[in-house]
Copies of this chain bind each other. A is one copy, B any other.
Amino acid sequence: MTEPSRTRPGGRSARVREAVHAAVIELLVSGETEAAIPRIAERAGVNPTSIYRRWGTAANLILDAAVSRLRATTPVPDTGSLRGDVEAWATGVERSLNAPDTQVLLPALVAAQGTDASPAEHLLVRLADLEQMLTVAAERGESTPPVEDLLDHVLAPLYLRALLRIPIEPGFGARLAARVLRECPADPDRGVVRGD
């Protein structure tokens, strides 16, 4: 029985995966827009065939690398107050957008998405985390803005700048956070007072 585990995630496999991810990112950061597979392989100390067999195309690889790297950044904070959480989160996003890795991965992610209308996996994960943060605040009795507001009025301005390579001045994230909090309390779409 016990279906003898068809896959082998441990050891070498994981090592190669890591090395390749690192190599792609390094290449992208160093301005290699094309990011040809043979180059990546060389840099990772891996045979090109391995990459072709595992990821198939460069787009797939980049997508995988980007998602898995971006997932690691900016965990959702828990400061005890909604204001604190949102500001800390926004500041965290801002900081991460100043890292060269992110600056190059975000556009790459956008570019690598096929025409297939798949709302970026990466974003969905973030949204779920934010939901969680707001829910906790609501349970504390605070009235919170809808997640969409955080998406539209905090994340969007920050991401747009990152994607279009417009520099982000320090404190911009915090300002956006404050603004969202300032205007939403009048519209408690969740929290104790809820009504619709």
Interfacial residues, chain A to chain B (CB-CB below 8 A)? 29, 31, 33, 59, 104, 107-108, 110-111, 113-115, 117-120, 123, 151-153, 155-157, 159-160, 163-167, 176, 183
| A164 cross-chain contacts in B, Cβ below 8 A | 110, 113, 119-120, 123
CB atoms of B163 and A152 under 8 A apart: no
CB-based closest 8 A-B pairs: A111-B111, A152-B157, A156-B156, A156-B160, A31-B115, A120-B164, A156-B157, A117-B165
The contact sample of 12 A-B pairs, CB cut-off 8 A, is A33-B115, A104-B115, A107-B111, A110-B110, A113-B164, A117-B167, A123-B164, A152-B153, A153-B153, A153-B157, A156-B157, A156-B159
Provide the bound-state CA to CA distance between A107 and B152, in Å: 18
CB atoms of B118 and A165 under 8 A apart: yes
Provide the bound-state CA to CA distance between A189 and B123, in Å: 34
Provide the bound-state CA to CA distance between A115 and B26, in Å: 13
| A108 cross-chain contacts in B, Cβ below 8 A | 111
Q: A119-B166, A152-B176, A164-B123 are in contact. Are A107 and B104 (CB under 8 A)?
A: no
> Can you add 13 more A-B contacts, CB < 8 Å, to A123-B164, A152-B156?
A31-B114, A104-B115, A107-B110, A107-B111, A117-B167, A119-B166, A123-B166, A151-B157, A152-B157, A152-B176, A155-B160, A156-B156, A156-B157
CB atoms of B166 and A163 under 8 A apart: no
CB atoms of B114 and A107 under 8 A apart: no
In the complex, the chain B residue whose C-beta lies closest to that of A121 is B164
| A29 cross-chain contacts in B, Cβ below 8 A | 115
